[in-house]
Amino acid sequence: MTPKIAVFASGSGSNFQAIIDAIASGNLDAQICGLIASKNNIGAIDKATKASIPHEVIRKADFSDEGFAGCLLDILKKWQPDLVVLAGYLVKVPELVIKTYPGKIINIHPSLLPDYGGKGFYGLNVHQAVINDNRTESGCTVHIVTEQFDEGPILAQRKVSVLENDTPESLAARILIEEHQLLPETIRKILTQRFSNS
């Protein structure tokens, strides 16, 4: 059976698109069962529609904490994913969801974790901090999601050099290119391992 992936996103969805492309080109044997978007009118939704992938917009602000977790769990129960991928998802995943899918939720983060992770380190803030600290290297990390923000076990990383004239935007763009390789590659490894063991 083809493994199923659910994707959560909050933004343009270029990492989501990288997964769609990896499947379409035969580099990843998987099926995307659905996208959960944290808000309306984001690029990720357009990409889901174009690829005929079902999506649900679930806005945290519309729920109590308990209601939010329950709603996400109801959808995941319907979709039955083997793996949940946070691809630029800016909302904290409720503890109950993490406990229900232990070790089965992964995230991509645009730094070499454990550096520049946790509260406040999202978007261009990450890259600005790296530049402010005169770091010569940055990169991206795929890790398992645990209750501690950006602190779960690291699965894979890719490094990029920080250039002298880098701006947060130029560094982000160079790292994003690596993210688009790293994420599908790591998903492939996880699914190959899981499915060959079962």
Residues with active-site annotation: 109
- State both tokens at 22: 């990896």
For the chain, state the CA radius of gyration: 16
Each residue 94-133 as x (binds ligand GRF by CB under 6 A) or -, in order, gives: --------------xxx-----------------------
Q: Which of 12, 128, 157, 170 binds ligand GRF (CB under 6 A)?
A: 12
Are the beta carbons of 19 and 108 closer than 8 angstroms?
no
For 110, the token pair is 């645009």
User: Is 11 a residue that touches ligand GRF (CB under 6 A)?
Assistant: yes
Instruction: Give the per-residue contact string, 72-91, with ligand GRF (x = CB under 6 A; - = no).
Output: ---------------xx---
Q: What are phi and psi of 57, to 5 degrees?
A: -95, 115
- DSSP characters for 122-163? -THHHHHHHHHTT-SEEEEEEEE--SSTT-SPEEEEEEEEPP
Alpha-helical (H) ranges within 2-53 are: 14-24, 43-50
Q: Which is nearer to ligand GRF, 85 or 97 (CB)?
A: 85
Residue 150 engages ligand GRF in binding (rule: CB under 6 A): no
Sole binder of ligand GRF in the list 13, 81, 94, 117 (CB under 6 A):
13
- Verify cis geometry, omega within 30 degrees of 0, for the bond prior to 114: yes
Instruction: Identify whether the C-beta of residue 60 lies closer than 8 Å to the C-beta of residue 53.
Output: no
Q: Is 176 in the site for ligand GRF (CB under 6 A)?
A: yes
Q: Per CB under 6 A, does 139 bind ligand GRF?
A: no
How many residues at the interface with ligand GRF, by CB under 6 A?
14
Q: Which residues bind ligand GRF (CB under 6 A)?
A: 9, 11-15, 87-88, 108-110, 140, 176, 179
